[in-house]
Amino acid sequence: MQTAFRTWAPSFDLMNDTASADGETTEIRWTKSPHTDWPNPMVGTFPYVELKLEHPDLAPTRYGESFFPDAVPYEFDGDHRVFYWRPTLDASTSDRTGWEGICATTDALSVVTESGPHAPDLVSRRGDESEVVVGGTVAGDSTTTLVGSYSVPDVRIRELSASRLELLADGTEYVVPAGTRRRVSLAEQTVERADGDGGTASVTPELVVRFPGERELHHPAPGAEYRLFPSFGLELDTVSRPVPVPTTKGELDYAALATSLGVDLSNRPYPERVLWQAFAYTAFDPHTSPVPRLTQFPTGRLALRTGPIDG
């Protein structure tokens, strides 16, 4: 997966969001855009299913490097959300006419429609070879390896509703009720190892299904270039320009930044605090040069782009 973040690990405690800045600040320039200049984000409640095709018989040779996951699921005020802060849906995704639900995989998000069986991409092709998942996390980091002579299992969603998922895997039908998970072992096959020492290996692909039911999806407008975040209780009009960003040992202090902007992280669920970190590092990391452009939609949700500005 692509990521805009460096892969070093700043020193913070995710469970102890207390301000600990060393008294230093760095002024970060940013600009505000009218929300009418930005397409509205996609927010709606849909049947939501997660699929992974794992190959635990193989040893991983490639590792994900994303600092933050693309999607953060959590409950807030009784709503079960899945928050995709980076654009993941295909830019050509049309309006919601005929949608049955949403399908998430280790590195993609797609729409299940009424037009027929939906075949999600569960394996990445690399020329004549296939990059398969060894251990996967939906919308997060996965371990993978490259193999040859691989026959991609035929996995299709036949029907998706709020209470029931029906899918086909290599011709066999499986029904998964909402609120359940299922792991299906598919036909064993022999593949050629393209990474490492080469040779052949016998693998049994495992289809991992999680179907929580309906979820409230938050996602940037398909094709848009901005990143989407909750409001965090922040009023963008109250943020100074430039903004003094607290630092600890020269690194952004996300908890102190929240305090300085009047954001109370203690009242936010843990997953939303992860989103705050993603917002803080994307917009106000003192080690990155692009000038952030931010807006706030009438719903309170925040959006930002990074790039050069005039003046």
Within 77-203, strands assigned E span: 79-84, 99-104, 109-113, 124-126, 129-135, 143-148, 155-160, 164-169, 172-177, 180-185, 189-193, 200-203
**Percent of the chain scoring above 90 in pLDDT:** 78
193 by Cβ neighbours in 10 Å (0-12 / 13-18 / 19+) ranks as middle
What pTM does this model have?
Answer: 0.88
> pLDDT tens digits, residue range 74-112?
998 899 999 999 999 999 887 788 899 999 999 899 999
Do residues 123 and 207 lie in contact, with contact meaning Cβ atoms separated by under 8 Å?
A: no
Per-residue pLDDT, averaged over 120-131, amounts to 93
Handedness of CA 66, 94, 213, 49 (dihedral sign): negative
Is residue 161 pLDDT above 90, yes or no?
yes
CA angle 91, 95, 98 (to 5 degrees): 120
Handedness of CA 139, 49, 273, 295 (dihedral sign): positive
Is residue 289 pLDDT above 80, yes or no?
yes
Which two structure tokens, joined as six digits, stand for 304? 């930002």
Is residue 52 pLDDT above 70, yes or no?
yes
Do residues 114 and 98 lie in contact, with contact meaning Cβ atoms separated by under 8 Å?
A: yes
Average pLDDT, the chain: 90
Is residue 310 pLDDT above 50, yes or no?
no
Is residue 197 pLDDT above 90, yes or no?
no
Distances (CA, A) of 282 to 28, 74, 264, 294: 12, 21, 19, 11
Lowest-pLDDT range, 3-17, 132-146, 170-184?
A: 3-17
Distance of alpha carbon 57 from its chain centroid, rounded? 26
Instruction: Quote the pLDDT of residue 10.
Output: 34
One-letter amino acid for residue 192 of the chain? E
pLDDT category, 115, cuts 50, 70, 90? Answer: confident
